Amino acid sequence: MSNLITTYYKTPLGTAEIVGDNNGIQSISVLDDEFSTPLEVTNSDLPKCMQDCRTQLEEYFAGERMEFDLKLNPQGTTFQKKVWKELLNIPFNKTRTYLEQSKALGDVKAIRAVASANGKNPIWIVIPCHRVIGSDGSLTGYAGGIWRKKWLLDHENPVKQQSLF
């Protein structure tokens, strides 16, 4: 059994808590509160996959990265892992409905189970569950908050909405 390491990275949406080890990133979650710890691990003490994660998140938020190339090790059921793997097929700046996601997984009737698995996605942004929307185009269900989902989708949209006034 390995010892998990936790590190933090400040993003425009809150502080990201990154948990992993040499086997890969197990989770990335966003914290609502300001967070800093005197026990913060220095970058040189982190496994390579966690150093890469911080670098790639920084590039993503700077608008310089559209795909992540990280060693991932999410913990979940076989079904959840299948759903999360399918989320990785949704391209940057594209969305998919929960129904389309269910179809991609081969079972239209599994829409509720797919939505539930999306909601349990442990790897924020990198496994892009924020790209899944309601059939009517609404921004439904996002564990990090709908405002973060909207921010991420706007961030990925190359055409920035202009105000008329």
Residue 73 in domain: no
Q: What domain range includes position 128?
A: 78-156
| 53 is annotated as an active-site residue | no
Structural domain contains residue 164:
no
Q: Are residues 84 and 152 in the same domain?
A: yes
Domain count for the chain, please give it.
Answer: 2
Q: Contact 32/41 with Cβ under 8 angstroms?
A: no
pLDDT tens, residue by residue, 88-100: 999 999 999 999 9
Closest CA to 30 of 15, 50, 11: 15
pTM here is: 0.87
Same domain, 52 and 21: yes
Reported as a single tens digit per residue, the pLDDT across 17-74 is: 999 999 999 999 999 866 555 345 556 678 999 999 999 999 999 999 999 999 999 9
* Catalytic residue (choose from 13, 129, 133, 152): 129
